[in-house]
Structure formats: structure tokens, C-alpha cells
Amino acid sequence: MVAPRTLHRSLAILLACTAPIALAGAAPPPAPAAEASPLYKDAAAPIAARVDDLLKRMTLEEKVGQLLTVWGAKAQMLDAKKRIDPVKVAALFPNGFGGFARPSDTLGAGSPRVTPGHDVKGTIDVVNTLQRYALTKTRLGIPILFHEEGLHGYAARDATSFPVPIGLASSWDPDMIRQINTITAREIAARGVTLALSPVVDVARDPRWGRIEETFGEDPYLVGEMGVAAVQGLQGADKAEKLAPGKVFATLKHLTGHGQPESGTNIGPAQISERELRENFFPPFEQAITRVAPGAVMPSYNEIDGTPSHASKWLLGDVLRGEWGFTGAITSDYDAIDQLRSIHHIAADRTEAALLAINAGVDSDLPEGDSYKTLVDSVRAGKVSEAVIDSAVRKMLEIKFRAGLFEHPYADVAAALKITNNAEARALARTAAARSMVLLKNDGTLPLAMPTGAAKPTIAVIGPSAAVARLGGYYGQPPVTVSILDGIKAKLGSRATVITSEGVKITENDDWWEDTVKLADPAENAKRIAAAVETAKGADTIVLAIGDTEQTSREAWANNHLGDRSSLDLVGQQQDLFDALKALGKPIVVVMINGRPLAINKVAAEANAVIEGWYLGEQGGNAVADALFGDVNPGGKLPVTIARSVGQLPMFYNYKPSAHRGYLFGEATPLFPFGYGLSYTSFTVGAPQLSATTIRPDGQVEVKVDVANTGKRAGDEVVQVYVRDSVSSVTRPVKELKAFRRVTLQPGETKTLSFTLDRRAFQMWNLDMKRVVEPGQFEIMAGGNSVDLKSATLTVAP
């Protein structure tokens, strides 16, 4: 998501900065002539007419003010009781400001563990106070656009926390993604906030990258379907002009190439050709924009072919607005416009950076407007026309009119409390965690038998993630979290003896916001391992929770705040802990709690069972306990390929035919393939049955696939349909996902699933970079993962 701004800025500096942040040369505008009711305040008037009317009334300073946002400066707005002081607001921003970042935090960037955020009432107090000021104390009464983070639940105090997106993608369940984002939207909207900085639809192709946890994985089709569902949940399933109650505008992120940075390091150059962009990185954005029209799009930090996304007229103008017809707002990533100067060095100063971004089509400068504050002077110096400013202001005003902020700007505390983290939300968080888990290995140890009778088994719950609920990056602070230890204890009650030990500490601190990451002392970990072995000696079964902390897989938003890794191995002494416990000869079940796919080669070979859990959200511990004891049958599938080592990278399933020929002394195959996941039951997926063996280039074919539960338990299978172009004018992947469906089957039950493949499943970008369907043979494949497939042949006739 967006990078938090300069965490090293101290509160003391913030409070010391008392000079007003006003636009250079600005003077208070004259009072408007008396008017009964201006058109822009008429709720019945067309939005375009309201915008036109308001624009012509605004001074240049007021227009530029609408492109600015407040975040760190909020500390200067507070009175002695830490409440918003309208007098200070007026002094700081005499021409107003357009947006306000994260009203749920108290002082801008910083850890909520250090400076707790506002509760529901506190957030609404901030929102309502500022809206009342903007509507009643500023010259034109333009409301403020508030935005918040909503990556996997509202990132605020007391809100509901769901699994991270890479976990949600493992569900292969767009309907559930839609439901989760519906909950997220209503919790955000209830506090008076209009814009969510979510979802991330970056296609992630490098697991070294710390932000991979924020994505829906490596496949453009899967990411697109999940992204469309997320936008539908946030702002509604249709393309309605006006925002419905309980909805917020989505911000599609990050356009583009962000998910395969050079060396796997955040914001690194994306060495990606136009063909790769169009085949793999553009599709999720195009699908979401053309199908559900998100309110905003955020460009990415990285450069492509020498041009950073925030300065790319081709990307933002020709492609986004031109080819895809996007009409919403383009909001910058945090400090990304300034980075045109400070990192990319294509601008000498903020004035030049602002000119590059505004001319490329970026409408809003987040989170502070440090670069766009120069635009008033640039207009007056003839460096940019006021018409360009008007175009950007129009987009920001349209969001406010579409949201109904001029008519309904205030939030209601009682209503917000009623729907925030309520029973429905908590139940969905538990369901989401259950459906996000992927069973990677099982020799029959799972599910564990539920204890009955007088005999009480002993279960050792061990590991650095056993007694803590890890929530991942851009996390909320739910009122209650459930660790794996908590979940197991609650499920077993007095029917078993549950013992525990930390085993190892991964990092000394696990605060996602903290800059410095310090690995735990190996000598101290050796003592912890010895203690864990002593604990486990008396156990019948060991449940080992290992993986990451929020510090070992996260967004690297500054040189002093890193989050990418050069290795995919377990961090610290976690492998030593596994080896020591394995030596006891007891059944060992490993639950991976992590943000990135890890190369757990030895663990996968030697553990009795392995569950990939990712960061599972507030109810993760209950969901893991449900899965361990068979109340939940894991049915998730991997949305990414798990490599055996860094040396195999890049590794993704839809590679070109010339890739992965093999290595001396090493494997060419992945540790676990894309789409892979086991179950406590067994399934048979039949060969695809085609409604026709020949179609025209503009035709379609119905693909039917039989899937049967051949085991003794109810369970879920994800039937996946892939396509391969046998011979083409440019090289094509060995297979591409084109359809999928998760289905629940009872023991012995068979269902026939039907999928329709149209030209979108067969089209490609030809030598002239035109999207076409070339006549020829296509292989249609179906199965429960990307490797074990059965096929049929389809001919596309000229």
C-alpha cells in the first residue's frame, strides 16, 4: 500500500513547526457576493454542472488547496486537550485543503503501539469537527475528503482485522473477498471517511519483495478477479455515479510493475517490456477499471524504462485514461511526487517534480502536498496553465459530490459503534481465516483426533508465532485477537493438556512501524530451543508455529526502514528449533505464519503435516484450531509458486517455453506449484468437455468439468481451467489460468461445473502490439492445481 511518511520526524519537531503552511503569495480571498443558493449546493443538479459552478467561483489558491492533504501537520491543529482547534486550522490553511489522511491516527506517521490511535468516537470527533469547519467557516464551504487504509480490514483501532491479501487470495473465493470488503467499507464509512486506499492489484512475481503479502499473488487473472471483487465490496457492484450509504470509493494500486522490482527491492526499477506489462501487469487494472470503475487509481513508486509512473504521460494518459477510459481521480502514492526529485532525480526541486506529475495527470499530492504547494507560483510564472490545475481539481471535487459530502458530511457515533467489529464481522474474520489456509503436506497426522474419555493427551504448542496473533502490515487494532495457543486451548478445554514454549524469538521487536530490525540473540535462542525441547518431551503431538514477524516481511518505505530480503529461508534459528523438535520422534505439525512464501525445503520433507497460514487476522487462532481438529477441512490453494531457493527466481507458473530447462546440482521444479493445496479428503477432476471443437475468433466455448469427492469427508476443491496457445506468432506462456471455481462436495458427491471461455481467454498481443485472437489450436486444461491437468483440444478457425 502507500508508504508511511518520514517516521523519523519527531513529535517535538512537529509541535515546534508553528509557521502556517500557506501557499506562497496567497491572500485571503474577498467575501463572495450574496447569493440565495449557488448551483453547486443544489443536490438535484447534475454533478458536472455543480463542479463547473464551483470551479468558476474558486481562486487559484483555493483550487490548489483542493489538491493538498494533511497528515503530519495534524499535530499543529490540536489544542491543549489534543482536540482539533478550528482557529489553528484556519491559520495554517487560509485557503483550505482538499483531503485529510488517516483521521484514526492521532499525530500522523507512527506506531499505534507507541501512540495509540483514536477509537470510534475519537475518529468521528476529528472528522465532524473538521467537516463542520470546512462547511461553515471557509469561504465556499467545500467538504474535506478523508482517506484511510483498508487493505485487509480497516486499519484502525477497534476495527475488524482479516487475513492479509495473499492469504485471502489463497481462498480462491471472490464472493468472500466481496463480503470482507463490504464489512471494511461500512466500518470506514461509519466514521465519516470516503476513500479507502485499497485494493492492491499488483501482480507479484518476486517473493523477496516485502510487499508480496499485500497482493493477491502472481497470476493476472486471479489477481483481476479478486481485485474486481474487492472494489465491488468497497464501493458497490455497479458503476453508480453516487456512492451508496455504507460504501467508500476504492483506490486501485499501484500502477504498475511494482510487483517485480529489480533485485526484489521495493520501488526498484521494473525492467519490464511493454509486452510483459500488457500480458501480465496491466490486466488486473484494466479489468477492475472497465468492469467496476474504482473511484481512484494510485500510480506506483517504481520507474519503467526510465520513466517513474508518477511522471508517465503514456501510462496515466494514453493507457489509463485513454485505452481504459478511466474517469476517476489519480492520487499519488505517499511522497511519490517528491521522489521524482529525491530518488529518481528527474526533477531538480519540488517545483519541477510538481510540474512533471500534474502534466502527467496526477490529481492529488499525498500525504501533505509538499510538491503541489508550488503550483500557484508555477501558474503565475507561466510554467503550467490554470486549465491543467482545473482538470485535477475537477476530479477531486467530483469525488466529493459523488459521495454526497456537501449534503451528508457528518458521521454518527452510535451507528458506527453498532456495526464496528460486531458479531457478523468477527464471524466472517474466522471464516476468512479458515478458507485462507493451504494444506501443503499431510501424512495422515491431520486432522488430530478430538480427545474423548478419561485419557488426556498432551499437545505442545511451540514457536515464535504460537502465542501471538500476527496481523501483517497495514494492520488494524481489533479489540480482541486470538493466537494459535488461545484457539487450541479454547477448543480443547479440559479434554487435553496444552503446554507451550516460545522456542525461538525471531526479531527482538515485531512492530511493523519500527525502523530498526534486530534479529534475536542466537545464544539466547539456543536456551529457548533447549527449553522448548524439554517442554515437548512430555507431549503426544507438537504444533509448531514458525515463519515471519511483521518486521521480516514488510514494506521497505525508506533506506532506514527495510523489509525486502535476499533469502527465502527461515529467519534466525527457526530451522534449528524444528530440527531439535523433530529429533524427539514425535508427530510434528507445522503451521506457517508468514507474509511471503518461504523455501522450507527441510521442513516440507520432514514434518508430518504443513499448513500455510499466512497472517490470518484477528480470528486466526480459532481457525487454525478448527483445521487441526477437523472442524474445518482446509481447501485453500496457493496464489503463488513457492520456490526451492532464491537461485530459481523468478519462478512463476505461466513461464515461457524456453524457461526452466534445469540446473546443475539443483531442481528446476518448484517446492510447491501455483494452485496447489491438499485436503483431508480426495478429489478427482475430469478432463474438460468442450461444447464445440471449433470456434471463430470472436466466438466462445463452454467448458464442462466433472469433479468428484472420492474420500470420506466433506471438503472443498478449486477446479482450475488453463489455456495454452499451441503455435503463435510471438512466444506464449506454457499455460494461463482463465477460469476457476471453489466448490464444496460431500463424500461420494460429483458435480459438473461449467465455464465459458470467450475471446478474452485466447487473445494475445501480436508483433504489432495489437490485441488479437490468432487462428490455430489451443489446449484447454483442467485440474486441481497448475501441474496435474487433463486436457482437450480446441481449434480457432480463421
CA dihedral sign, ordered 649, 653, 659, 660: positive
How many CB atoms are located within 10 Å of the residue 349 CB? 11
One-letter-per-residue 3-state SS of 440-455: EEECCCCCCCCCCCCC
Residue 623 neighbours by CB under 8 Å, 6+ apart: 430, 433, 434, 436, 437, 487, 616, 632
* Apex 227 CA angle, 672 and 183, nearest 5: 110
* Apex 172 CA angle, 171 and 174, nearest 5: 105
Q: Which of 333, 338, 626, 725 is catalytic?
A: 333
How far is the C-alpha of 258 from the C-alpha of 786, rounded, in Å? 24
Question: DSSP letter string over 629-655?
Answer: TTSS------SS-B-SSGGG-S--SS-
How many CB atoms are located within 10 Å of the residue 766 CB? 15
Single-letter residue type at 379: V
Residue 19 neighbours by CB under 8 Å, 6+ apart: none
Q: 592 has which bridge partners?
A: 546, 612
How many CB atoms are located within 10 Å of the residue 27 CB? 11
Residue 229 per-residue DSSP state: H
What CA–CA distances, in Å, run from 410 to 92, 135, 189, 402, 442? 23, 11, 10, 15, 53
Residue 429 neighbours by CB under 8 Å, 6+ apart: 153, 160, 161, 162, 617, 618, 619
Q: 718 has which bridge partners?
A: 742
Q: Can you list the alpha helix ranges (DSSP code H) found in 372-462?
A: 375-380, 386-402, 413-419, 423-436
Q: 250 has which bridge partners?
A: 196
Q: Closest Cα to residue 504, out of 454, 547, 541?
A: 547
End-to-end CA, the chain: 45
- Which three three-digit cell numbers place residue 597? 512464501
How many CB atoms are located within 10 Å of the residue 531 CB? 14
How far is the C-alpha of 400 from the C-alpha of 642, rounded, in Å? 43
Question: Is 377 annotated as catalytic?
Answer: no
Residue 104 neighbours by CB under 8 Å, 6+ apart: 117, 118, 123, 148, 154, 155, 156, 157, 191
Q: Closest Cα to residue 656, out of 722, 729, 736?
A: 736
How many CB atoms are located within 10 Å of the residue 408 CB? 12
In whole angstroms, what separates CA 663 from the centre of its chain? 34
Contact, 205 vs 652, CB < 8 A?
A: yes
Residue 281 per-residue DSSP state: I
Active-site residue list:
333
